[in-house]
């Protein structure tokens, strides 16, 4: 069953409509093909997750409607190794120009190649996100000869391809009389692509090349499986070969002369195929990722995001925004607000008050056509969990005590996996000087300097602790103490004077409890500190 009652409900439904009808026109009765492409040339940036999530959501909707649909994830692992990133032994420079699958993994890796090293964490993240896909290694495709006919076609049609490319060449890049070949061999001797094709014969398919290393040979292209089509030909070749009906791409692919534009012409003129439906997706930014958290370089990856937020929440970010809308993924304090929004949506879903588009995005986030994603049985607010693990420094007994006071939680498992994400966020994203340290001993100097008013306020607080020992109760208590001191009822509307008194009272409590002017929300902090320790620290 599809997510939405109406196919007009959200962007995913509208694309699914379009793709299903286009697939029926192009290849009736065949499985529908959606595609993504990723390069394992380095850590896969979290922003590139949109390349996968956009077709995933559309393919998932198509499957929910009962159609057969495959999501191909093409790994461009036969691309050349371009440069040695900072932090890797400069000796890796000798591998520049080799296919990514022929370059050794970075030092210390358990994987057998550069490509495998960077694929693995992305594949693990996609599994955690519930993304169903069929992985294709371009190394396997090219070296097995899968594209042999397509390569021979491209070589036969090289003048036509050259003419299409020429429409977009600027004067400066026009090469005088150099023969154009859309195929680049990897050198038999040095494995690098520093090769130049010097001659090609269509009838015999004999291809001669020389390499910058000094090597040269003549091969029969009809038998040669060590080279690849240039990118602008490779992409449309694969659209035709796989029968891709939907493949989005980033804004950088859509300028004049770019691979998408040129490919759209080549796929028909050379391969007799059609360009996929291909929305251009906007940039996804990251806010506030702390340097310390990325163990895999300075690049935030989907795995990093999944350490601090649950899979449904990350899915939701992509489901609720059209591909053309850019958005940011928060690693800073904003993540707490994001989670507030997510919980508010969950409540609206539960009581049936949300809009159809909101409901569609929610359903796409929490389950796929195949399975439900893990949910936290007892979803305590993320900001509350963050405060608790901050104050308790993750001590499980203390954490369970506070959660039990807060809510009827009897096992930490009830609060997981959200609890673990909040813990990870505090540990990796909140700077040491922003962490909360509850005082071990009372601040005798400050306590000794207090006037009668302040002492009375603290006494009122302490007297009310047991009766108000819940998040709501303590909220009423801390706001109520200054009102009662001013002769008002605890539930009276505060006057401007009372508001000033509340601010002063809160600042005093923060100073006495954590030695700073601010901290986590006071009711959460009080629960986290525990009634006995509160009594000790406020000196009453």
CA 528 to chain centre: 32
Name the minimum Å distance from CB 34 to Zn ion.
38
Binding to Zn ion by CB under 5 A, coded x per residue (else -) over 144-183, reads ----------------------------------------
Name the minimum Å distance from CB 213 to Zn ion.
3
524 beta partners: none
Of the pair 187, 381, the CB lying nearest Zn ion is at: 187
Return the residue matching tokens 């694929």: 119
Angle at 393 between CA 389 and CA 397, to 5 degrees: 75
Residues 417-436 that bind Zn ion (CB under 5 A): none
What gap in Å lies between CA 153 and CA 469, rounded to an integer? 76
275 neighbors 263 (Cβ within 8 angstroms): yes
What gap in Å lies between CA 343 and CA 337, rounded to an integer? 10
Return the residue matching tokens 């977009």: 168
Of the pair 96, 488, the CB lying nearest Zn ion is at: 96
Name the minimum Å distance from CB 433 to Zn ion.
54
Cis ω on the peptide bond leading into residue 417 (within 30° of 0)? yes
Name the minimum Å distance from CB 223 to Zn ion.
20
Name the minimum Å distance from CB 198 to Zn ion.
14
Residues 176-215 that bind Zn ion (CB under 5 A): 187, 189-190, 211, 213, 215
Of the pair 181, 362, the CB lying nearest Zn ion is at: 181
Of the pair 226, 435, the CB lying nearest Zn ion is at: 226
Alpha helices in 245-395 (DSSP H): 259-269, 302-308, 311-319, 334-351, 356-366, 382-392
Name the minimum Å distance from CB 209 to Zn ion.
9
Of the pair 208, 213, the CB lying nearest Zn ion is at: 213
**Number of residues counted as binding Zn ion (CB under 5 A):** 6
Query: Rule CB under 5 A: is residue 504 a binding residue for Zn ion?
Result: no
Of the pair 184, 416, the CB lying nearest Zn ion is at: 184
The shares of helix, strand and coil residues in the chain, as percent rounded to the nearest 5, are: 50, 10, 40
Name the minimum Å distance from CB 303 to Zn ion.
36
Of the pair 166, 189, the CB lying nearest Zn ion is at: 189
Among 245, 231, 220, 223, residue whose Cα is nearest residue 16: 245
78 neighbors 138 (Cβ within 8 angstroms): yes
Of the pair 138, 195, the CB lying nearest Zn ion is at: 195
Binding to Zn ion by CB under 5 A, coded x per residue (else -) over 212-251, reads -x-x------------------------------------
3-state secondary structure of 299: coil
497 exposed, middle or buried (CB, 10 Å; 0-12, 13-18, 19+)? Answer: exposed
Name the minimum Å distance from CB 98 to Zn ion.
10
Helix (H) or strand (E) holding 484: helix 471-485
Q: Where on the chain is the footprint of Zn ion (CB under 5 A)?
A: 187, 189-190, 211, 213, 215
């Amino acid at each position: 069953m599809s997510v939405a009652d109406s196919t007009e409900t959200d962007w995913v439904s509208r694309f699914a409509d379009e793709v299903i009808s286009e697939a029926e026109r192009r290849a009736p009765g065949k499985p529908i093909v959606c595609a993504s492409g990723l390069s394992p040339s380095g850590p896969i940036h979290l922003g590139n997750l949109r390349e996968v999530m956009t077709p995933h959501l559309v393919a998932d909707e198509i499957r929910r409607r009962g159609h057969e649909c495959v999501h191909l994830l093409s790994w461009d692992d036969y691309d050349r190794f371009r440069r040695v990133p900072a932090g890797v032994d400069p000796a890796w420079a000798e591998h520049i120009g080799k296919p990514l699958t022929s370059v050794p993994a970075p030092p210390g890796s358990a994987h057998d190649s550069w490509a495998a090293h960077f694929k693995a964490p992305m594949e693990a993240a996609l599994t955690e996100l519930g993304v169903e896909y069929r992985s294709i290694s371009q190394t396997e495709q090219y070296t097995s000869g899968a594209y042999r006919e397509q390569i021979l076609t491209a070589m036969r049609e090289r003048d036509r391809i050259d003419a299409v490319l020429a429409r977009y060449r600027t004067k400066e890049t026009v090469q005088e009389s150099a023969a154009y070949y859309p195929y680049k061999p990897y050198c038999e001797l040095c494995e690098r692509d520093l090769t130049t094709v010097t001659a090609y014969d269509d009838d015999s398919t004999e291809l001669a090349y020389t390499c910058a290393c000094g090597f040269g040979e003549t091969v029969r292209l009809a038998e040669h499986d060590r080279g690849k089509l240039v990118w602008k030909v490779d992409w449309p070749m694969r659209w035709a070969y796989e029968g891709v009906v939907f493949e989005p791409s980033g804004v950088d692919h859509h300028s004049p002369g770019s691979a998408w534009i040129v490919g759209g012409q080549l796929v028909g003129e050379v391969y007799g195929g059609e360009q996929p439906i291909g929305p251009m997706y906007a940039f996804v930014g990251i806010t506030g990722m702390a340097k310390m958290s990325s163990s895999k370089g300075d690049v935030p990856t989907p795995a990093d995001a999944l350490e601090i937020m649950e899979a449904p929440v990350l899915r939701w970010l992509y489901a609720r925004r059209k591909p053309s809308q850019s958005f940011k993924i928060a690693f800073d304090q904003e993540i707490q607000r994001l989670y507030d929004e997510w919980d508010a949506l969950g409540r609206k879903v539960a009581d049936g008050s949300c809009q159809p588009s909101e409901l569609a995005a929610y359903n796409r986030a929490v389950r796929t056509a195949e399975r439900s994603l893990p949910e936290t049985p007892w979803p305590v607010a993320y900001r509350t969990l963050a405060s608790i693990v901050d104050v308790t420094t993750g001590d499980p007994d203390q954490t369970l005590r506070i959660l039990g006071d807060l809510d009827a939680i009897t096992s930490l498992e009830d609060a997981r996996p959200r609890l673990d994400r909040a813990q990870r966020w505090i540990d990796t994203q909140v700077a040491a000087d922003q962490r909360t340290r509850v005082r071990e001993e009372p601040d005798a100097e400050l306590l000794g300097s207090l006037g009668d008013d302040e002492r009375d306020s603290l006494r009122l607080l302490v007297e009310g602790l047991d009766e108000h020992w819940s998040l709501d109760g303590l909220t009423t208590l801390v706001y109520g103490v200054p009102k009662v001191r001013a002769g008002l009822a605890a539930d009276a509307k505060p006057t401007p004077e009372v508001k000033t008194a509340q601010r002063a009272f809160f600042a005093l409590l923060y100073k006495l409890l954590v030695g700073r002017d601010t901290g986590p929300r006071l009711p959460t902090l009080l629960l986290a500190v525990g009634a006995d320790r509160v009594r000790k620290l406020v000196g009453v």
